[in-house]
Amino acid sequence: MKLEIGNFYVKDIVFGELLSFNDGVLTVNKEEALKFVCEDDRITEADLYIAKPGDKIRMCPVKEAIEPRTRLDGRSLFPGYIGDLAQAGDGVTYALKNCSVLVVGKHWGGFQDGVIDMSGEGQKYTYFGQLNNLVLVADTNEDFEKHEQQKKNDALRRAGHKLAEFIGACLKELTPEDTEVYESEPMIRRGEEVEKLPSVVYVMQPQSQMEAAGYNDLVYGWDTNHMVPTVMNPNEILDGAIVSGSFMPVSSKWSTYDFQNCPNIKALYKEHGKTINFLGVIMSNLNVALEEKERAALYVAQIAKTLGADAAVVAEEGYGNPDADFVGCIVALEDAGVKTVGVTNECTGRDGQSQPLVTLDEKCDAIVSCGNVSEMIELPPMETVLGELEALARDGLSGGWANDEILGSSVREDGSIIMENNSMFCGDQVCGWSPKTMKEF
Which tens digits make up the pLDDT trace of 170-198? 999 999 999 999 999 999 889 999 999 99
Percentage of the chain beyond pLDDT 70 is 100
pLDDT reported for residue 355: 93
pLDDT reported for residue 148: 86
In a domain? residue 441: no
Number of folded domains that form the chain = 1
Q: In whole angstroms, give the CA distance from residue 323 to residue 360.
A: 8
In a domain? residue 430: no
Q: What is the mean pLDDT of residues 77-96?
A: 97
In a domain? residue 438: no
Q: In whole angstroms, give the CA distance from residue 264 to residue 282.
A: 13
pLDDT at residue 107 is higher than 80? yes
In a domain? residue 437: no
Question: What pLDDT digit, counting tens, does each position of 160-174 carry?
Answer: 999 999 999 999 999
In a domain? residue 312: yes
Structural domain that includes position 225: 2-423
Question: What pLDDT digit, counting tens, does each position of 371-391 carry?
Answer: 999 999 999 999 999 999 999
Is this prediction's pTM over 0.95?
yes
pLDDT at residue 147 is higher than 90? no
Say if residue 61 is preceded by a cis peptide, omega within 30 of 0: yes
In a domain? residue 434: no
Q: What is the mean pLDDT of residues 232-246?
A: 97
Give Cβ neighbours of residue 102 (< 8 Å, ≥ 6 apart): 51, 59, 62, 64, 65, 116, 128, 133, 134, 135, 136, 160
Question: What pLDDT digit, counting tens, does each position of 40-58 carry?
Answer: 999 999 999 999 999 999 9
In a domain? residue 185: yes
pLDDT reported for residue 363: 96
In a domain? residue 435: no
Q: In whole angstroms, give the CA distance from residue 198 to residue 97.
A: 32
Question: What pLDDT digit, counting tens, does each position of 300-345 carry?
Answer: 999 999 999 999 999 999 999 999 999 999 999 999 999 999 999 9
